[in-house]
Amino acid sequence: MSPQSASFKSLEDLRAACLDLPAGNDAAASAVARRQDTLTKPPGSLGRLETIAAWLGRWQGRDMPKLDAVKVFVFAGNHGVTAQGVSAYPSEVTVQMVANFAGGGAAINQLARIAGAKLDVIPLDLDHPTGDFTIAPAMDEKEFLAAVSAGYDSVTSDLDLVCFGEMGIGNTTPAAAISTALFGGSAEKWTGRGTGVDDAGLQRKVVAIEAGLKRHADSLSDPLKIAAALGGRELAAIFGATLAARKNNVPVLLDGFVCTAAAAPLARLHPTGLAHTIAAHVSAEAGHRRLLEALGLPPLLDLGMRLGEGSGACLAVNIVRSALECHARMASFAEAGVSEK
């Protein structure tokens, strides 16, 4: 089970947990790197595959990492800000897509199967959307902590790698609002078309974000208050799950814009808050590349995807598996009888 599996009681309780993060295992990462240097290839010639292997070792704390237990978590939530006309789809699609996940008909079902990952879909109070952040906080402290705790408790120490994804009509608007609040600049700079809104819809998103930032100006100096006032239950759960993964020594593949924005407050609270994560891909959503640059997270893939659901993270599992297979199964120069440089 997760440490601190009981619910967080206050923002200060949660903040204390965010400020007390375990470091990675340097000895394990070094052992992985040393083995890489003995394998039948020029040093560094597998590029990021080599650093991915060391990253796995560091955060699993193993000289020989493993990927026996890989899980994809898709958190789902509904958003009151959709009342501002920020999405091309109605909110009921969130519930319908959760049913589609259960029936095995979504993209993430296929990608998880191919990646050898179990899929866990966690709906969060879908019948009760968050508040419309243009006129009220998206969540009060109690609601926010409940969602964070739900995500936190989902990640256990028996997992080797986790992917986080989301489903929530309208949630690129909270993601852009959080990004603007955390990293500055204009709302336009962070806002994209999400589910495919037209120019008028894009402008409505910008106006809604500007209104939210003005309404909650007193909260903008605190990453946790930003996440509560401007976010959503599924974003809060991803934040909690990312924190739990760090506490449990489980490396993380982050999905697209919404997922990255959800985890970003941890990086603002702790200088190495997202060191145990890799950005699986850069999405086509306007603000994602900018957000990854702000966080110092170079993406593994750039496929023009903008689906969410953890789809890009699931694709990246196959790259991580490839990195581990090369690390574990390649022969050394001595074993293969190959002359070294």
Residues known to be catalytic = 309
Contacts of 300 (CB under 8 A, 6+ apart): 48, 278, 279, 280, 281, 316, 319
Rg (CA), the chain: 20
Phi, psi at residue 165, to the nearest 5°?
-140, 180
What the block records as the tokens of 280 is 């699986």
How many CB atoms sit inside 10 A of residue 142's CB? Answer: 12
Report d(CA 328, CA 160) in Å as an integer. Answer: 16
What the block records as the tokens of 264 is 């970003």
Report d(CA 124, CA 250) in Å as an integer. Answer: 23
Report d(CA 99, CA 89) in Å as an integer. Answer: 16
Report d(CA 123, CA 125) in Å as an integer. Answer: 6
Report d(CA 287, CA 63) in Å as an integer. Answer: 37
Give the 3-state secondary structure of residue 290.
Answer: helix
Cα 175-176-180 angle, rounded to 5 deg: 120
Give yes or no for a contact between 114 and 68, defined as CB atoms under 8 angstroms apart: no
Give yes or no for a contact between 252 and 245, defined as CB atoms under 8 angstroms apart: yes
What the block records as the tokens of 287 is 């603000």
> Residue 301: exposed, middle, or buried by beta-carbon count in 10 A (0-12, 13-18, 19+)?
middle
Helix (H) or strand (E) holding 167: strand 161-167
